Amino acid sequence: MADILDGKAFAATVRDRVATHVARLKEENGITPGLAVVLVGEDPASQVYVRSKGKQTVEVGMTSFEHKLPADTSEADLLALIDQLNADTAVHGILVQLPLPSHLNSDLVINSIDPAKDVDGFHISNVGLLGTGQKAMVPCTPLGCLMLLRDYHGDLSGMNAVVVGRSNIVGKPMANLLLGDSCTVTIAHSRTKDLPAVVRQADIVVAAVGRPEMVRGDWIKPGATVIDVGINRVPNGDKSKLVGDVDFASASQVAGAITPVPGGVGPMTIACLLANTVTACCRANGLGEPTDLTV
């Protein structure tokens, strides 16, 4: 049976570190880090995430600004709100919850955020900085995955990493982070030929495809580390349950270490969002940025 990588417990330690930095910023500098979250429309999953983000922001001592806009909000109105948040010195981080309603151009909206406040790391300039190995805002989910991997393995250099999924939110930035840690990185996706054989080469598997339990135990090299980014709600009798992109029952028999769903990567994402907000706040105020909140 594989070691379980307990993201829930690890996220709590990250939040403790964040809270310590927030208290210090308040006491020594009179600054309270602020995070603005913008939700357009009423997607139920997004509403749950946004509520959770707001709650945890307040719990670590930061200010939460929530902007809930109707689904038919015009692009001009959304861009005007982002301009206002860009100019607001009490706001150190801005997050626009995705997906946006289809009449809004997500790329345009994301790229209108001040890159220094882009705590999601989705702005084109942060993507470019990460891709060229420069100091960037790093997307929260991949950042959380890398923290878990480093915590378990220490040095990752020379390991074969296979990232399954090529999204801008997880797959691509994850591959860049692993490359930065000197892994040999493969990005696999729905068109990859003989995906099981590709995954079987991996010392590290990151599954981020959004397909319930797709990665099976017989795809996993014995002893490999498996990071499951998937959060899929599936029927379970007359109720439902959450499962990952990995078939935990079979994969945990073969892997050396594995993240559970729920309680693995999920809790790390919001913890890293809070960490990025403190980092952005320190940078905005010309203060030395914490070394224990990023990778």
Strands 204-207 and 232-236: unpaired
Rule CB under 6 A: choose which of 35, 140, 162, 270 binds ligand GUN. 140
Inter-residue contact 295 to 143 (CB < 8 Å)? yes
For this structure, is 253 an active site residue? Answer: no
State yes or no: residue 198 binds ligand GUN (CB under 6 A). no
Distance between first and last Cα of the chain: 29
Inter-residue contact 171 to 165 (CB < 8 Å)? yes
For this structure, is 201 an active site residue? Answer: no
**Separation between Cα atoms, residue 226 and residue 251, nearest integer Å:** 8
- Give how many residues touch ligand GUN by CB under 6 A: 8
**Separation between Cα atoms, residue 192 and residue 57, nearest integer Å:** 39
The least CB distance from residue 160 to ligand GUN, in Å, is: 26
State yes or no: residue 81 binds ligand GUN (CB under 6 A). no
State yes or no: residue 36 binds ligand GUN (CB under 6 A). no
State yes or no: residue 141 binds ligand GUN (CB under 6 A). yes
State yes or no: residue 82 binds ligand GUN (CB under 6 A). no
State yes or no: residue 120 binds ligand GUN (CB under 6 A). yes
- Give ∠ CA 292-266-165 in degrees, rounded to 5: 100
Cβ-count burial 111-128 (b if 16+ within 10 Å, e if not): bbbbbbbbbbbbbeebbe
List 97, 181, 203, 228, catalytic entry: 97
Cβ closer to ligand GUN: 65 or 200?
65
Cβ closer to ligand GUN: 65 or 192?
65
For this structure, is 172 an active site residue? Answer: no
**Separation between Cα atoms, residue 144 and residue 138, nearest integer Å:** 10
Q: Return the amino acid letter for 289.
A: E
List 120, 228, 245, 247, catalytic entry: 120
Active site positions, annotated: 53, 97, 120
Chain residues in the site for ligand GUN (CB under 6 A): 95-98, 120, 140-141, 169
